[in-house]
Every structure is written in C-alpha cells, then in structure tokens.
Structure 1
Amino acid sequence: MNTLNKIDSTKLADNLFLPDFCQVYTVFLGVILTELLAFVLTLAPLSKIGYDWKYVKADLMTDLALISLFMQWITLISMGLLCLLRRWLCRLGNLLAGFFSYLLILVVTGLVSELAYQLVISPVESLMIAPVASRQLFFWRNLGMSALLSAIVLRYFYMQYLWKQETEATAYARLQALQARIRPHFLFNSMNTIASLIRFQPQQAEQAVIDFAEIFRASLIEAKNSVTLQEELQWCQQYLHIEKLRLAERLHLIWQIDSLPKDAILPPLCLQPLVENAIYHGIQPLLTGGTVEITGQFDGSQIKLSISNPMPEIPSTYQGQQMAQQNIQQRLHYFYGAQASLAIQTIANTYQVSLIFPYHNHYDENTYRR
C-alpha cells in the first residue's frame, strides 16, 4: 500500500508545472537568480542624481548586503513553503496551484517587508530628522515588484512545463513506433517454419508458436517500461530456437554471459534485434552458415553485451541493420542519456556490435536521463 501511495504521489508531482523546490539544485538556482536580481536593483539607482563614487565606496556594498538579505529571505521562505505544500498543491491542479502559489509569494513578501521595516528601517528613522522611507511606500513598492516578478517566473515555469510535456509526448510516440517495428521477413520465415513442422513435428511446432508469441508480446510492452536482462536474454533464446529450426546445422551459437547480473534493467527488445541482424546479415548469406557469439562483461558498474557474427564476402545491400542499430541507440539514449552507448567493430571478417549501459536494478527517470 505504501508503494502504491508513493507511485500515485509521483504521478501527481509529474503533472504539476512547478519545479520541485525540495531539491537542492532548484534551491541553489533560485538563490543564484535572486542574488543576480539584487545586484541589478542595487546598481540601478547609480544613474540618478546624488549617487557618485563616494556612495559607491561608502554605501554600495552595505546596500547590496541589505537588499540581498531581504530578497533571499523572501525567496527561501517562499520555496520552503512551496516544498512543504507540494503534495497538497499537486492535488489542486495547475490552475489553482498557480493561483495559490502566487498569493503565497505575495503574503511572504508582505510579511518580510513588514518585518524588515520594523527591524531595520524604523530604528534608522528614529535617529534621523527626515524619514528614510514611507512605511506604506516601502510596503507597496515591494509588493508590486514581487507581484510582477512572481507572475513572470510562474508563467515561465508553466511554459517550461508545456514544452516538456510536448517534448516527452513526441519522444514517447517515436519510441513506441521504434519498439513496435517487427520485420516482415522474420514474421514470414517464422510462419513458414511453423507450417513445415506442424505435420511431421507437432511438438516442435507448438514450441515454436509459443516462442513466437512471447517475442510478439515483448514488442507490445509499454515503451517507457524497462525489463530485466533475464527477460531480454530469454527472448533472444526463444528467437534463436525458431531460427535454429529453420537454419538447422548452419547456425551455431556460443553463449558467454554467466558473469552478467540478470536483474539489470534495460529498454525492451534491445538485444534480440541485434541477434536477428547477426543471423540475417551474417549467417543466412553463407552456404555453410557460421557462429553467432553472445558475450557479456560486467565490471561492477557497467555492462557490456557483444554480438559477433561472420561477414560474407559480398555484403548484403539491405540497410535494415543500420536502422535497427539507430533504433536501439535512440532507445538507450532515451533511457540512460550519455551513460549508454552502442559500439560497432569489424575485426578479421567478424562483425561485432556492443551494447554498453550502466547497471541498475530499478529505473528512475530523474536520475538516469541526463
């Protein structure tokens, strides 16, 4: 039940246009931007009469410190409250959450302004003949500036949210289309193999149908979901079982994957299309067949999966292999960003494709996609 509640909270948070003010990066960025604005407000009056180098030398740094302290208090208190109220804001929806956040920032600005006036400006006024600043002017000036800046910032957050939603929707649609692609020649070859076995070897035909159904089911998995390396290897074995029935003694297999952690996660159908390429472009054109070697290496943090196949003297003119590699590379990048890669090597008439990706036994989009 706790896990379900956590998942629901995460989904709600993803639908909120406000950034997560509980994250250190967001707080740091807010502090930096506030300090830059404090510099602007401190330097702006220098263009007015009465501000000269004497003021710069004597009072500029003092004014900058006071303005920075005042603005940082507003920023930090506002971000702290928005962090504490994030779960509640998620349930309000973006419109009400934005309206409440706007009012919250204005209230914080008003309270900090009143406190600053009582603690700083009022004691200074009592020591001078002329008042330093009108209390109402000080209050409404700060409130007006806060209203304008808050509206701009919240509008920026909302536009950024819409852009992110559109980008992810486009990427997801493209990812789903890439994953759903099943080659027609594999479908036809599998059906022909099964048809030839039904009459004379019904048990093998039945197993081939089960294997084909599992591979087809894998292509229908939600594109955002991840699968374990154990599942990916099982699909490869089921695919190879079908191809073994078709190619018989022309296909030889070598597996060296005992050192790999089977609970590692990766995008679905990353390995099977590469194995299919190895057979279609490396084994099938050769009259005597050849060997497909699948090896794995694990150094404790990264996994390297390699598929090797012989190269025919006359290469195939079909360019599907390149398309499959681009497909997989894009899906790896979608999941892991720069942490994953696809490498290609040609060594002594042997074609080798390697998948390199980080070892994780759970998927966190905010952690890995950077």
Structure 2
Amino acid sequence: MKNAQMVSVFQDAPAAGAGASGVAAPVLDVCQLGLVLRTVVWVECVVVVACMFGAMHFEDWLLRTALVTGGALPATLAWLLVACSLRHRLAALGLGWQSAVAVVLGALAGVLACAMVALSQAGAPAPWLASASAGGLLSAVVVVALVLRARSQREADAAAQLADLQSRIRPHFLFNTLNSAIALVRAEPDKAELLLEDLSDLFRHALVDQGASVGLEQEIALAQRYLAIERVRFGDRLRVTWQVDPDAGVARVPSLLLQPLVENAVRHGVEPSASGADIGITVQRRRSVVVITVTNTVPAGPGPGGAGVALRNVRERLALLHDVQGQFSSGLKDGVFQVRVEVPL
C-alpha cells in the first residue's frame, strides 16, 4: 500500500466533531488549567504594558496597574467560566458563530471590568466603549490561539493514526502474524481464529477515527490484543505483567497512547534478545491523577533506535489534550527502560 493511499484514508472524512472549517469543535474549550493560567497571565501582561501609557512616574504606573488589574482579572475569570460552561452548547455551532460568541462575551467582560474600576473611582468618567472594544479584541486573540491549537491537535492525531497504520502493515509484522495463524489452523483452529480477530481489531482501530480522546480502558484492551498477537510469535520470550486499577479506566487519554508504548517495549526489549524480556504495564489511580507506567528490560544498552519518534508523538498529543496536567517522562536505568505518563481524571 502506498503512503498516499494511507493518507487518503484519514483525509476522506473530517475529524469527529469537526465543523465546516475542519477544526475540531468546540473551539472554546478553555476548561483546562493550563489554558486558564496562560490566558490570565497574558491579559495581565497586556494590562501592565497598557498602564505604562499616561503614567507620570513609577508609583503612578503601579497604582494604575493595580487599579486596572482589579477589574481585568475578575472579568477575565468570568469570561473563562462562562466560555467553559457553554462549550458543549457551542460545539453544535460553526467556527464563525463560536468566534462571534467569544467576542461578544469578551466585550461584556470588558464592560464588567470597566464597571468595577468605575466603582473604585467615584465620579471619574468611565471609558465604556474602549473597555468593550478591548475586551472583544483580547477575546478574538484568544480564539485565534485556540483555533491554531485545535488544528495542531488534529494534525498530531492524524499523524499518529498514519504512523500506527503503517506499523500495522509492516511487511514483517503482517507476514509473521499470518504465518502464525497458518501454523495454528490445523493444530489449534480456535487459537488461529482468535489471532485473526485480534489482527482485524488492530486494523479497524487504526482505520476508524477515534476522536481526540478515548477512555483508558479502551487503550488497555487494544494493548492486550496487540500483546496477544505477539505472544503467539515470541512465546515464552514475551513475559508480560499487568497491574491495572479498575477505578482508573475512566480517565481520558489521547487515542493510540498505550499501544505504541507497548509496541516499543516489544521491539526494543523482546525482539533483539534471545532470552526475551520482561514487560510491565501498571495503571494506578492516585486521587485525581492516573499514573501509567510501561517498563521493559533491554538486552544491552538502550537498544536500536526508532523509539524516539513514537515517544515524541505520544508526548506532544498528551500535552495538547491535557496541557500542564499531563506529564510524560522516559529513561533507561539499570537495564530497564521506563515510560511514565500522568493524566488527570
């Protein structure tokens, strides 16, 4: 199969939840802690710079900054709260309408900020129109940033699906799997049927758009099917230990998060070693965080290259989905390679 043909599989249909513009909806998904912090810091930076205009001296600038911050900060938080609460309703609208709603909310937030400042300066003229315009403009900039972020996430998801599909149809993987099924047809037909079902599910998962995120329990099931196929090939060389907290399955993770990590463990731990390798997958819930750990022994050193691309892709998609609440780390220590992922519940 040509690469162009595989690319067309993902380009023929828009991503789930995508509007006419091709950007995944909702655009105004500002409920993540990282986005809230960045928006507040950015608005405060604008306030700090704006207050420099007209300030006579340093103390005057500090006073102006404190005064305007007292109105801008609550107004910004109010805009974020309303946008977050309306994100599901706005998801049914197109990008244009979502942007218009965001700008209108920004203008209202600007009026709110002006009112709060006016209350602290009784009798002083209030720049209502300028405040509303500034609020709408700042909201428009935030919307542009969210649209660019959504497009980056969609491109990363498509790249991950393409990479996964390519790995599924690697000649040696498909050849070895079919050979294993042929060898089992007469001796153990039930096992051969299960093997082909697992292979079919892997292809189906790679071809079907899963959206930006899936439940962790779905990723665990997919990884188990992949390991079931590889166990037929490697036999006792593939030694897997699972430790899964049943309460952790509700966590949302990027599609195709766990399976590439497990595949790397097989390729760089089991394949190059005559004695095989020990693979451990641990999923634990720790209060409001789920910790996913994938470890594998390596025969000597870090093993062959190639794992960095998959790990980098997982890290980038995790950051796009959960921002600062998603953590990713990997490293080799004492002959054991470990990947650790943290996602919020």
* TM-score of the two chains, using structure 2 as the length reference: 0.63
Amino acid at match of 1:237: Q
Partner residue of 1:291?
277
Amino acid at match of 1:164: L
Partner residue of 1:206?
193
Residues 254 and 115 of structure 1, relative CA distance in 2, 3 Å threshold:
closer
Q: Matched residues in 1 for 2:40 and 2:340: separation?
A: 37
Partner residue of 1:172?
154
Alignment partner of 1:93 is 2:97: yes
Q: Work out whether residues 243 and 283 of structure 2, in 8 Å CA contact, stay in contact via their aligned partners in 1.
A: yes
Note the 1:1-370 alignment, pairs <5 A: 14-15=26-27, 40-41=53-54, 43=55, 68=67, 93=97, 97=101, 120=123, 146-148=128-130, 150-182=132-164, 183=167, 184=170, 185-219=172-206, 220-228=208-216, 230-249=217-236, 251-257=237-243, 261-265=247-251, 266-287=253-274, 289-296=275-282, 298=284, 300-301=286-287, 302-311=290-299, 317=304, 319-338=305-324, 339-347=326-334, 350-358=335-343, 360=345
Gaps of 5+ in 2: 1-16, 18-22
Q: Work out whether residues 40 and 73 of structure 2, in 8 Å CA contact, stay in contact via their aligned partners in 1.
A: no
Partner residue of 1:129?
none
Q: Work out whether residues 16 and 93 of structure 1, in 8 Å CA contact, stay in contact via their aligned partners in 2.
A: no
| Displacement of 1:207 | 0.5
Q: Work out whether residues 17 and 161 of structure 1, in 8 Å CA contact, stay in contact via their aligned partners in 2.
A: no
Q: Matched residues in 2 for 1:237 and 1:96: separation?
A: 45
Query: Which of structures 1 and 2 has the bigger CA Rg?
Result: 1
Q: Work out whether residues 344 and 352 of structure 1, in 8 Å CA contact, stay in contact via their aligned partners in 2.
A: yes
TM-superposition CA deviations, 1:303-331 (whole Å, max 9, x none):
24132134158x865x3323222222223
| Displacement of 1:257 | 0.6
Residues 97 and 235 of structure 1, relative CA distance in 2, 3 Å threshold:
closer
TM-superposition CA deviations, 1:121-154 (whole Å, max 9, x none):
8xxxxxxxxxxxxxxxx6xxx55xx434543442
| Displacement of 1:107 | 8.5
How many residues were matched structurally?
303
Q: Work out whether residues 110 and 133 of structure 2, in 8 Å CA contact, stay in contact via their aligned partners in 1.
A: no
| Displacement of 1:165 | 0.4
State, as a whole percentage, how many aligned pairs show the same letter: 18
| Displacement of 1:208 | 0.7
Partner residue of 1:132?
none
- Aligned to 1:294, the other structure's residue is in SS state strand
| Displacement of 1:342 | 2.5
* TM-score of the two chains, using structure 1 as the length reference: 0.60
Residues 194 and 278 of structure 1, relative CA distance in 2, 3 Å threshold:
same
Q: Matched residues in 2 for 1:346 and 1:114: separation?
A: 60
TM-superposition CA deviations, 1:215-266 (whole Å, max 9, x none):
23333342511222x33332222222212222234x2424141556442523
> In angstroms, what is the RMSD of aligned CA positions?
5.1
| Displacement of 1:196 | 3.5
Q: Matched residues in 2 for 1:81 and 1:280: separation?
A: 48
| Displacement of 1:206 | 1.1
Q: Matched residues in 2 for 1:243 and 1:115: separation?
A: 69
Amino acid at match of 2:337: Q
Amino acid at match of 2:213: N
- Aligned to 2:149, the other structure's residue is in SS state helix
TM-superposition CA deviations, 1:98-129 (whole Å, max 9, x none):
78669868988999999999x748xxxxxxxx
- Aligned to 1:180, the other structure's residue is in SS state helix
Q: Work out whether residues 278 and 308 of structure 1, in 8 Å CA contact, stay in contact via their aligned partners in 2.
A: yes
- Aligned to 1:235, the other structure's residue is in SS state helix
